[in-house]
Amino acid sequence: MTTDVRAALLAADPRLSKFSPLPRILAFDDFDSGTHGWCELLGNYNGRGDLGTVDAHMRDFRPPQLSSCTFFDIGTHGAMSGTYALKLATRPYKGHTAVAIRRLTMSGRGLVQLETYFAFKSEATLGGGAELDTFGDVQWDGNTHPSEAQFGAFTVATDLCGDGGLRYHTVARYQNTDMDNRFTRQWIAPTVPEPTPREHFEGKVKLEYAADFTAPNPEDWQAFGEPQELCYNEVPTKVNWHYLRWLVDTDARRNVELQVNDRVMDMRDVPVPPYEERYETLENLLNFYFSVRTHSSVRNFLFLDSVLISVDW
Amino acid sequence: MTAVLERDTTFDKDFETEPYEVAWAGEARWFVQLVGGDGAARFVTQVSPDGITWCDLDDASHVAGQGELVSWPATGFGNWLRVRAVVEGTVQVRIHLAVKA
């Protein structure tokens, strides 16, 4: 009976009925009403606030913006719900990544689910010559648009730690193009843990500006699922919202599955490599991040209409 | 909300900050610090209809010397804000934009 009442209440609420939450909703972030704790990620710095000690590849992840999805051609597009969405925007610099992170802690172990409605776009190009009608695999033909090939990748990921400092990430990245701007349209995940500021401090790793902070070596990524074409919708100024549902298990420290629109991908065999060394000050860490990385010299945007995080504990 | 649009970034030539969306905001104020370098810079607020094409908001310019924090409001803006900077020598800048509904 309780389950039926809950299902009816969720179904009757237009804000929640587009989601499929687990029993406890930890966060419901409708970006029409603010940023809800999604903020810029920054690498660590020393005890004097010297930002020169921040790792070069983690010093410029850009502040998330409340966007009305306004464009040069049609004006304000608006979000899926209301006017504003959360926008992550890269610089127009090949390899640059924008990251928004949300910081929670765990009061239990078990299933954790993140759901969102998202859209991805490249910044429109205005002016120039006929050579700009071609980019990567795409020749403007009235349907396909070079803008789509100017979009690199977006990522949803966690940063999790507990049980005596055992830290690990679960990661799912949609790679739209490779670094040569050729379509791959493939979901991928890293086979190594993300390089950390402590590893830099200890002299183990030093990465350059615009390195891929999640896993810098392209060979340390592996595909899962089949290639998936999403709805870029032709030009850089049409925003179509996609559903994403991602389930992880913090008891087993594993991925479970990823749903993106009508595709459900089994992620149980996707590796979740933990750090070999234990971390302090992170007990029960439950962080989520979204990132967007441009593989061209064009700004890339990831728009989030809303995010719902729920758990079974 | 406060956004850090440049975080101790070093410039030795003129520059503009990245576009920042402020459609939801009714008030905005810039805070610009020169935290390093040997030069000086002059800053002008810019606005845009689309985040791509820009013009100056007004005739005001704001000069920051070494170690100084300068601040000024922006009013009557549209959906985007940025600043452009005219740089003499080398400057290391920290730029905050504070916006309110």
The C-alpha atoms of residue A58 and residue A98 are separated, in whole angstroms, by 10
Query: Which of A66, A77, A125, A209 to mutate to probe the B interface, most B CBs <10 Å?
Result: A66
Contacts of residue A9, Cβ cutoff 8 Å, sequence gap at least 6: none
Confidence of residue A1 (pLDDT cuts 50, 70, 90): low
Average pLDDT over residues A58-74: 98
Residue of A70, A83, A84 lying closest to B50 (CB–CB): A70
Shortest distance, CA A92 to any CA of chain B (angstroms):
9
Q: For residue range B81-96, what is the model confidence (pLDDT) as tens digits?
A: 999 999 999 999 999 9
Q: Which of A35, A62, A70 sits opposite B1 (nearest CB)?
A: A35
What value does the mean pLDDT take over residues B47-60? 98
Residue B50 to chain A, least CA–CA distance (Å): 5
User: Over the stretch A67-90, which tens digit does the pLDDT of each residue have?
Assistant: 999 999 999 999 999 999 999 999
What is the nearest CA distance from B57 to chain A, expressed in angstroms? 19
Residues of B in Cβ contact (< 8 Å) with A63: 3-5, 20
Q: Which two tokens stand for residue A204?
A: 């183990």
Residue range A27-41, pLDDT digits in tens: 999 999 999 999 999
What does the pLDDT average to over A51-64? Answer: 96
- Domain count of the fold of chain B: 1
Q: Give percent of chain A above pLDDT 90.
A: 95
In chain A, % of residues over pLDDT 70: 100
Answer with the residue of higher pLDDT: A195 or A230: A230
Domain A22-311, CATH class in plain words:
mainly beta
Mutate which: B22, B50, B77, vs A, most A CBs within 10 A: B50
Prediction pTM value: 0.97
Is B23 in Cβ contact with A40 (below 8 Å)?
no
Is residue A203 pLDDT above 90, yes or no?
A: no
- For residue A243, which of A87, A17, A77, A2 has the smallest C-alpha distance? A17
Name the residue type at position A129. G
Domain harbouring B77, CATH code: 2.60.120.380
Question: pLDDT tens, A131-173?
Answer: 999 999 899 999 999 999 999 999 999 999 999 999 999 999 9
* Angstrom distances, CA of residue B19 to CA of A38, A65, B6, B48, B96: 19, 10, 12, 9, 13
B59-88: average pLDDT = 96
Higher model confidence: residue A203 or residue B84? B84
pLDDT tens, A208-245?
999 999 999 999 999 999 999 999 999 999 999 999 99
**Enclosing domain of residue B11:** 2-100
Distance CA A179, CA A72 (A): 28
**Contact assignment for A72 to B52 by CB distance below 8 Å:** yes
Confidence of residue A204 (pLDDT cuts 50, 70, 90): confident
User: Given B9, B21, B49, which is nearest A65 (Cβ)?
Assistant: B21
pLDDT confidence of residue B100:
97
- Distance of alpha carbon A236 from alpha carbon A35, whole angstroms: 24
Which residues on B lie below 8 Å from A38 (Cβ)? none
- The domains of chain A are located at 22-311
Read off the pLDDT band of A124 (50, 70, 90). Answer: very high
Smallest Cα–Cα separation from A301: which of A232, A209, A243, A224? Answer: A232
pLDDT tens, position by position, A254-277? 999 999 999 999 999 999 999 999
CB-CB contact of B37 with B52 (8 Å): no
Q: How many CB pairs under 8 A join A and B?
A: 54
- Sign, CA dihedral A113-A26-B3-A147, equals positive
Q: What percent of chain B has pLDDT over 90?
A: 95
Answer whether residue A122 shows pLDDT above 80.
Answer: yes
- For residues A113 and A116, give the distance between their C-alpha atoms in angstroms, rounded to a whole number: 10
